[in-house]
Structure 1
Amino acid sequence: MKRNFLPGGWRGQGGAVLLTAVVVGTLLRFFRLGARELSIDESLSWAESSGRSVRDVLLIQHQLDSGKFPICELAQHAWMLTFGESEAAMRALPALIGSLSIMLVFVLGVEVMLAVCGGPEPSPAELRSAASPVKERARYEKGRIYMVAAVCALLFAVGLPSVEIARQARMYSMMQAWILAQVIFLLRARRLGGPANYTGLTIFSAIAVATNFTAALVIAAEALWLIYLRLAHAQSDEKARSAEPWLMGVAIVAAIVLLLPFFAGLRYGVEGVKRGDYEWIKPPGSWEPLATFESGLGSWPFLLFALFAIVGGFQLWRSRRDLAMLLILWIGLPPIALLAGSYLVVPMLVTRYVISSFVPIFILTAIGIEYLPSRNYRTAAIVAIGILSILRVSLDLRQGDHRWREACEIALANAGSQRRVGAYHEYYVVSYYIPAAQRDRVQVVRIPFHGDERAAPRVIVVSPTVAPPQVAEIRREYPIVVARFKNVVVVLRPEAGVQNAPNL
């Protein structure tokens, strides 16, 4: 690559870009964190993390989401003990991890560019010479490396996928951070070798997959890359001490050995498929992987990301084909694998399951921007992508309503002496929005409930996620509509003499 962003070094403009990425990215992740109510998935994370002790968290997590180690749930438990369990407090931990991940992307960008710009290191004598052209070249390359890495961090900081998961009280922000660290050690092992880098590759591979099994898709992409390196003998860095891809393969296999105790939990995922836990995911179309990236980035930002990523990928393929292959596999294999699984097993292609695949798109986009012919063009491209991304993110920062909180208040007011409230898929949402002071005295009953008619709750909170057959059954037993809060309805069992009521 012959273009440079800043001929005088990176400390001025490159440092400003990195600082802007950290400041803007942090603001986007923390602004109005409590503006929206918890989603169904977030309420599940609350239930897993809200045990009275670590032992309770381990037991509850095993019951609700077995098959992974509760790394995020334990961290969330400690966080909630310190800062409370409000919506903003619960989301603050993923937001903080997301902000720290901006720096991880910067370090990852540096590693990528070090591989791209790899070459013989100048001797100490050449670097000491004030007029040495080698010294000037070293400064030139350093400026380019850090500037491109800073742009990678900025694109990640304002990108909708990374902001969105950082604002959710779920484990995906933490999983992404582990994956970023894992890829950093993978590239360092490729470039430098050494026990520390192989150990880091093993540890972070195991932690990422233990946090959520979808991280295994990235490991699979890396395994294919190592096979490619072995078959193609792609060893472009002559000074690399990691001469054989099999050494990195051994480190990844060691991670799998560490994960063996958790593999038994996979059967719970199989049982979840049988229970219909994934029925909410729509069957994907043939172009769904591309549509996933388009919807994840936003329509207008996607066009610019795609354009510059294609340019960056083409240029990287010409200069470092092995590195380009890694990024392409990282982008493509996770959604393609999920698409195949959707056809063979059950629909499972959703954006958050391929969240880390957006990172190589940001890297290739930054490299593509660097090939624009002038600094003004490069600046315009960065500003355009940044503004479009922020505008798209801003749509998710608007104040939400309080339908579940208000529905639970009405339900409690009509629960009678039983103090029992029914809920369907939103069981944990209703449990969360029961006031904390009353949770010990109120029982939330899961529907379909078991027992005779007298044991059934007097009032039920219903949402559109309830399937039509269940709606028909509820209408027969609970025909009185007490209140509607948009798509959340509170229904009541009739008193004696009441025969009809409005439909749900």
Structure 2
Amino acid sequence: MAWMLAIVLLGLMARLFRIDHQPLWLDEALTLQRIHLGLSGLMADSFTNRHMPTYFLLLRVVSPFFGTGDDWLRIPSALFGAMSAGMVFVIASRIGSRNAGIVAGLLMALSPLQVQYGQEARSYTLVTLLIAVALWGLLRLAEQPLRASIDVRRSDADRMGWGAYVLSTIAALDVLGDAVPWLIASNLSLLLIWRSLADLSSARAFCRNWIGSVIAIIACTAPFYAAIFAASDGHMLQKFDWIPQMSWQHMWVVAGSVYLMRMVAVVKFDLMHTAVPLLGAMVALAGCMGLFRMRAKLQGRVLLLSVLVLPLLILSISLFKSMLLPRYVLWSAVPFFVLVGLGADVLPRRAWAMAATLLLLLGVVNLGPVYRMETKPRWDMAAATLAANVRPGDTVFTGDPNAPTMLSVLHPKGELPLESTTLVTSQLDEALARWRQGSRVWAVNGRSALGQREELSDFKNRVAALGTPVVEIPQGKEITILMFPAPDEVEPN
């Protein structure tokens, strides 16, 4: 218990440290807007945007217990992420030893990508935690197949294993659709457990429990997915056209960030600078060793399925419609880090203590860029700059259609809303018409979410009809503000 609490505390410290360093980005801004809608509006907006309303309802409930700033939205994610590290420790300790649990827990606690999503107001860390609990239950069933085959109504049945698996799977599916591949992986694992039972009566009894779990899961989740399908008019995959096309480079970005302790830019499909380049190779080597050690055990096959099913399913879909994103593969890090911990467990006891200490130090150093580098566009700076300089009658043109939402959400507190005195538009024709009528135009180049970025030179060519900007203000790495005076303010040559 003491070691588990230490892992959870370390994970929480890593996620709470400078949690307000990065500004909200588009997904978080939409979270903030959604939780302030009425109950019916929150539900409808969630289903329309292919989201379960569960997490947003949770934020709405807990909001009175946190501060008034926007950053409180990220605190639940930090808590769930830290608890996930604790669950990884518990799983690895149960299958291997305490040493295996410490290594696996440290990796989960200090993974740059896990920390990044632990500092983001979205539901990814909650789903990761729930699947970790479900995996713990599933591994209990794999550990004692005969006990798992006892009717759950009997007192000597493994109610804890079945209950953890079924209830956590239901909860994960009802929070985010990213958990659907877990349902596939877990049922393939249950198939392996069923096949391991040589006794026919035990196999039949296990099958009854298995079928009961499937019925319970489907009954508690299908209505929500039906609502999402209905709200999307049946065109689910077509609405993911903002995801970059799959490539070898993108596959490396996903693998490096999810499994190999690398940090990824939120709005760019690219890995960021790493402080400890060799850490990823060490993790990969230990993971292969863990897989080799567990190759003949039923629990090892369950872990392998839990690691592989999600990325392989995403890759298969991406052959037709690109779906490859690090956050869509995030929860598969749980079984992977368990395997890494089991691989590290082969070290002699004397060498292990030194290796664990080294892992802690390297992991902390490797997190440094997470707290220093800009990984999200500085729309907060852009909103503050415009609030301080725009005057009544001006026009703000944004190249990104979602930028008006960002400027509205991140507008400085206490200032009049930008829209009250200024037209904010992403339509260039509208901005040009206003400019011809005597309005100054502030043109904002920058993206709010993942997608193709318009280079500043191309943006300037697109707005060339406005003349030559008299002010050019960079706002971080991603955003630039140009100010074009009204036609009657331009001095003749």
Shift in alpha-carbon separation, 1:161–1:440, aligned structure 2, 3 A: closer
Question: Which residue matches 1:6?
Answer: none
Do the aligned residues in 2 keep the contact of 1:208 with 1:215 (CA within 8 Å)? Answer: yes
Question: Which residue matches 2:486?
Answer: 495
Cα deviation 1:131-184 (Å, max 9, x = unaligned): xxxxxxxxxxxxx4x443344323322222322211112111111111112222
Letter of the structure 2 residue corresponding to residue 214 of structure 1: D
Question: Which residue matches 1:204?
Answer: 168
Pick from 32, 37, 62: which aligns with 1:46? 32
- Find the aligned partners of 2:190 and 2:442 in 1 and give their Cα distance: 58
- Find the aligned partners of 1:20 and 1:61 in 2 and give their Cα distance: 36
SS at match of 2:488: coil
Cα deviation 1:186-236 (Å, max 9, x = unaligned): 234454443544344333222212221111112211222233344xx2249
Asked if 1:335 is matched to 2:311, the reply is yes
Question: Which residue matches 2:135?
Answer: 183
Asked if 1:363 is matched to 2:338, the reply is yes
Do the aligned residues in 2 keep the contact of 1:182 with 1:205 (CA within 8 Å)? Answer: yes
Cα deviation 1:402-433 (Å, max 9, x = unaligned): 94333223323454325764442333322221
Question: Which residue matches 1:303?
Answer: 281
- Find the aligned partners of 1:478 and 1:92 in 2 and give their Cα distance: 46
Letter of the structure 2 residue corresponding to residue 210 of structure 1: D
- Find the aligned partners of 1:489 and 1:328 in 2 and give their Cα distance: 46
Offset at 1:434?
1.0
Shift in alpha-carbon separation, 1:16–1:375, aligned structure 2, 3 A: farther
Letter of the structure 1 residue corresponding to residue 362 of structure 2: L
Segment of structure 1 superposing worse, 36-45 or 188-197: 188-197
Question: Which residue matches 2:71?
Answer: 88
Structure 2 gaps of 5+ residues are 154-158, 263-276
Letter of the structure 1 residue corresponding to residue 336 of structure 2: I
Question: Which residue matches 1:447?
Answer: 426
- Find the aligned partners of 2:204 and 2:366 in 1 and give their Cα distance: 42
Shift in alpha-carbon separation, 1:98–1:23, aligned structure 2, 3 A: same
Question: Which residue matches 2:223?
Answer: 261
Please report the TM-score for the alignment, with normalisation by the length of structure 2. Answer: 0.78
Offset at 1:463?
0.7
Structure 1 gaps of 5+ residues are 1-14, 114-143
SS at match of 2:89: helix
Offset at 1:471?
6.1
Shift in alpha-carbon separation, 1:431–1:300, aligned structure 2, 3 A: farther
Offset at 1:19?
4.3
Pick from 172, 189, 192: which aligns with 1:225? 189
1:415-454 aligned at under 5 Å gives the runs: 415-418=390-393, 421-423=396-398, 424=400, 425-438=402-415, 442=419, 445=424, 447-448=426-427, 453-454=433-434
Pick from 81, 87, 109: which aligns with 1:157? 109
Offset at 1:266?
3.4
Shift in alpha-carbon separation, 1:16–1:205, aligned structure 2, 3 A: closer
Asked if 1:18 is matched to 2:4, the reply is yes
Question: Which residue matches 1:11?
Answer: none
Letter of the structure 2 residue corresponding to residue 293 of structure 1: A
Cα root mean square deviation, aligned: 3.6
Do the aligned residues in 2 keep the contact of 1:412 with 1:419 (CA within 8 Å)? Answer: no
Question: Which residue matches 1:4?
Answer: none
Do the aligned residues in 2 keep the contact of 1:331 with 1:360 (CA within 8 Å)? Answer: yes
Letter of the structure 1 residue corresponding to residue 426 of structure 2: I
Segment of structure 1 superposing worse, 473-482 or 382-391: 473-482
SS at match of 2:218: helix
Shift in alpha-carbon separation, 1:35–1:478, aligned structure 2, 3 A: farther
Segment of structure 1 superposing worse, 381-390 or 205-214: 381-390
- Find the aligned partners of 2:394 and 2:412 in 1 and give their Cα distance: 13
- Find the aligned partners of 2:245 and 2:489 in 1 and give their Cα distance: 40
Offset at 1:330?
1.2
Question: Which residue matches 1:252?
Answer: 214
Asked if 1:72 is matched to 2:59, the reply is no
Offset at 1:355?
0.9
Offset at 1:353?
0.9
Question: Which residue matches 2:274?
Answer: none
Question: Which residue matches 1:140?
Answer: none
SS at match of 1:459: strand
Do the aligned residues in 2 keep the contact of 1:205 with 1:252 (CA within 8 Å)? Answer: no
Shift in alpha-carbon separation, 1:155–1:412, aligned structure 2, 3 A: closer
Question: Which residue matches 2:382?
Answer: 407
Do the aligned residues in 1 keep the contact of 2:87 with 2:129 (CA within 8 Å)? Answer: yes
Do the aligned residues in 2 keep the contact of 1:178 with 1:208 (CA within 8 Å)? Answer: yes
- Find the aligned partners of 1:269 and 1:445 in 2 and give their Cα distance: 30
Shift in alpha-carbon separation, 1:411–1:147, aligned structure 2, 3 A: same
Do the aligned residues in 1 keep the contact of 2:411 with 2:417 (CA within 8 Å)? Answer: no
- Find the aligned partners of 2:172 and 2:210 in 1 and give their Cα distance: 17
Question: Which residue matches 1:284?
Answer: 247
Question: Which residue matches 1:121?
Answer: none
Segment of structure 1 superposing worse, 446-455 or 485-494: 446-455
Letter of the structure 2 residue corresponding to residue 332 of structure 1: L
Do the aligned residues in 2 keep the contact of 1:334 with 1:357 (CA within 8 Å)? Answer: yes
Question: Which residue matches 2:475?
Answer: 485
Shift in alpha-carbon separation, 1:461–1:291, aligned structure 2, 3 A: closer
- Find the aligned partners of 1:394 and 1:246 in 2 and give their Cα distance: 51
Do the aligned residues in 1 keep the contact of 2:172 with 2:179 (CA within 8 Å)? Answer: yes
Offset at 1:363?
1.0
Shift in alpha-carbon separation, 1:406–1:467, aligned structure 2, 3 A: closer
Pick from 157, 178, 184: which aligns with 1:214? 178
Do the aligned residues in 1 keep the contact of 2:395 with 2:434 (CA within 8 Å)? Answer: no
- Find the aligned partners of 2:185 and 2:16 in 1 and give their Cα distance: 32
Offset at 1:475?
4.0
Shift in alpha-carbon separation, 1:223–1:35, aligned structure 2, 3 A: same
Cα deviation 1:371-424 (Å, max 9, x = unaligned): 22x212222332333332222222101275994333223323454325764442
Shift in alpha-carbon separation, 1:203–1:434, aligned structure 2, 3 A: same
